[in-house]
Amino acid sequence: MKTIQAYRFALDLTPGQERDVLAHAGAARVAHNWALARVKAVMDQRAAERTYGLPDEQLTDSISWTLASLRKAWNAAKGDVAPWWRACSKEAFNTGLDALARALKNWSDSRTGKRKGRPVGFPRFKSRRRATPSVRFTTGTIRVEPDRMHVVLPRLGRLKLHESARKLARRLDNGTARVMSATVRRDGGRWHVAFCVEIERADRTPAQPGTVVGVDVGITHLAVLSTGELVDNPSHLTGAQQRMRQLGRALARKTGPDRRTGQRPSNRWQRSANRLGRAHARVANLRRDGLHKLTTWLARQHGTVVVEDLNVTGMLANRRLARRIADAGFAEIRRQLAYKTGWNGGRLLVADRWYPSSKTCSGCAAVKTKLALSEREYHCAACGLVMDRDRNAARNLAALAAEYDTAGSGPVAGRGADQKTRLAGQVAVKRQPGTASAGQTGTVPPQGGTTNRVLTRAH
């Protein structure tokens, strides 16, 4: 099975190498801003001409937004715009132009309804001080040195890694991986290089291919499994909140930048800002590490994983719980399970957003009309079942897998579940795009393999 995977390593750059990388990132920013100004000038001119009453055929000729067209225009003007262009790799300018081409396409598709999700705004000019330095290389010499502690990139030369690249080097030596691009980026005060690699993955099967586990995510416990296991929520952001407050107060006492007067930040302000940035980066790294360990264990252990389709954006509107919900990373858990189950030969089932997993009794399938968030134990009035609320929801999620297999060839309802609580105990299951189906180790093509099935529980 071929798949695209990224390998990310921290770098230990010398002062000279850091200046070179910043110069390449600056070249990408210059190309991006120049092309954006050119596109914006033509759009504004055409808009002004329309106000004069000119017909469309007499307007200023529009320009193409494709990467090839932007690159052709840049090559014709780079001698005047950037006389120093020979000091940087051509990939630096291509990085900025490619980012602009993608942003313009996303904006256009969002306006015309071709792109789903939130509306995408028009691209903005990149600031030297606020933009994240980044440059991507797709051609030239890109390799991992035999000592596995150095990498070679075009024009930047030999860069030292902070950690060993043995996992990537083994695949490259075996011929099961092909490097497609390398991106150097600064995150949290540290430089990283990320290799985009096409990998030939061996077929794998979970340790228990016939088992089904329902996963109910929460705040007190990050995940409650239908098997009864509890995964504690480490709450990394809450633990670091006191130190972040101290760093934030120290930053506020120093002379920072002022865009109105053009005031430059002081060196002490910059050092304090770097400390606060490193604190935030540490929390993000700890959260990412914990979520990867949890999802990898679930995907390698169980053949079928069932989760809920949560409205995380709507949950973040609750100002009392927004910080804890964001710290837990509910959406990231589902995103990682989506591709890891496919890698390990399992499958991921996603319960419809309106399926009442918490209101349904896992013993007799009776459904409560209302269930307050403060009720942490589920009490069934029909059969007398008393169980932890989250474990009851996880058991209901696990039961969906059997019903999905039983009624897999039944009628398909495009909408899935509805917003009303159903007293008949109906169930809705949605196949996650891009995951392997039962008994398969390949991946289902995204956007085309989604089916919503409404299954009725037998009485």
- Clarify whether residues 94 and 150 are in a common domain: no
Give the per-residue pLDDT at 89: 94
Residue 259 within a domain: no
Residue 190 pLDDT class (50, 70, 90 cuts) = very high
Residue 117 within a domain: no
Average pLDDT of the chain is 86
Residue 381 pLDDT class (50, 70, 90 cuts) = confident
Give the per-residue pLDDT at 457: 30
Give the per-residue pLDDT at 341: 94
Catalytic residue among 91, 216, 327, 352: 216
| Distance, CA of 452 to CA of 430 (rounded, Å) | 5
- Clarify whether residues 422 and 298 are in a common domain: yes
Give the per-residue pLDDT at 90: 95
CB 184 within 8 A of CB 191: yes
Give the per-residue pLDDT at 453: 32
Catalytic, 229? Answer no
How many domains does the structure of the chain reveal?
3
pLDDT tens, 134-174?
999 999 999 999 999 999 999 999 999 999 999 999 999 99
Residue that wins the pLDDT comparison between 428 and 223: 223
Q: What are phi and psi of 438, to 5 degrees?
A: -60, 130
Nearest residue to 360 (alpha-carbon basis) of 342, 382, 338: 382
Residue 236 pLDDT class (50, 70, 90 cuts) = very high
Residue 374 pLDDT class (50, 70, 90 cuts) = confident
Model confidence at 281: pLDDT above 50: yes
Token representation of residue 414: 């495009």
Residue 242 within a domain: no
Give the per-residue pLDDT at 66: 94
Residue 417 pLDDT class (50, 70, 90 cuts) = very low
Model confidence at 434: pLDDT above 90: no
Q: What is the mean pLDDT of residues 396-424?
A: 57
- Clarify whether residues 226 and 147 are in a common domain: no
Model confidence at 193: pLDDT above 70: yes
Give the CATH number, domain containing residue 435.
3.30.420
Model confidence at 449: pLDDT above 70: no
Model confidence at 187: pLDDT above 50: yes
pLDDT tens, 50-75?
888 888 888 888 899 999 999 999 99
Catalytic residue among 20, 308, 327, 352: 308
Give the per-residue pLDDT at 406: 67
Give the per-residue pLDDT at 429: 52
Q: What is the mean pLDDT of residues 214-238?
A: 92
Residue 385 within a domain: yes
DSSP 221: E
Catalytic, 145? Answer no
- Clarify whether residues 195 and 342 are in a common domain: no
Q: What is the mean pLDDT of residues 107-126?
A: 93
- Among 183, 200, 217, which residue terminates a domain? 200
Residue 408 pLDDT class (50, 70, 90 cuts) = low
Contacts for 383-390: CB closer than 8 Å, 24+ residues apart: 385/361, 387/362, 388/224, 389/358, 390/216, 390/218, 390/221, 390/224, 390/358
> What whole-number percentage of the chain has pLDDT above 90?
66
- Clarify whether residues 441 and 304 are in a common domain: yes
For the ranges 308-317, 364-373, 420-429, which has the lowest average pLDDT?
420-429
Residue 246 within a domain: no
Q: What is the mean pLDDT of residues 25-52?
A: 94
- Clarify whether residues 105 and 83 are in a common domain: yes
Model confidence at 386: pLDDT above 80: yes
> What whole-number percentage of the chain has pLDDT above 70?
88
Give the per-residue pLDDT at 430: 53
Give the per-residue pLDDT at 402: 81
Give the per-residue pLDDT at 447: 31
Catalytic, 49? Answer no
- Clarify whether residues 287 and 399 are in a common domain: yes
Model confidence at 409: pLDDT above 90: no
In total, the chain counts a number of residues equal to 459
Question: Any residues with CB less than 8 A from the CB of 278 and at least 6 apart, and which?
Answer: 188, 189
Residue 440 pLDDT class (50, 70, 90 cuts) = very low
Q: What range does the domain containing 297 cover?
A: 208-233+273-456
Q: What is the mean pLDDT of residues 124-136?
A: 93
Residue 263 within a domain: no
Give the per-residue pLDDT at 444: 28
Q: What is the mean pLDDT of residues 162-188?
A: 94
pLDDT tens, 1-32?
899 999 999 999 999 999 999 999 999 999 99
Nearest residue to 305 (alpha-carbon basis) of 415, 191, 429, 204: 429
Nearest residue to 337 (alpha-carbon basis) of 364, 385, 360, 304: 304
Residue 251 within a domain: no
- Clarify whether residues 212 and 349 are in a common domain: yes
Give the per-residue pLDDT at 370: 87
Residue 262 within a domain: no
Give the per-residue pLDDT at 425: 38
- Clarify whether residues 288 and 434 are in a common domain: yes
Give the per-residue pLDDT at 403: 78
Catalytic residue among 98, 327, 390, 403: 390
Please name the residue ranges forming H helices in 62-165: 67-81, 90-112
- Clarify whether residues 70 and 156 are in a common domain: no
- Clarify whether residues 29 and 11 are in a common domain: no
Give the per-residue pLDDT at 443: 30
- Clarify whether residues 96 and 6 are in a common domain: no
Q: What is the mean pLDDT of residues 382-406?
A: 87
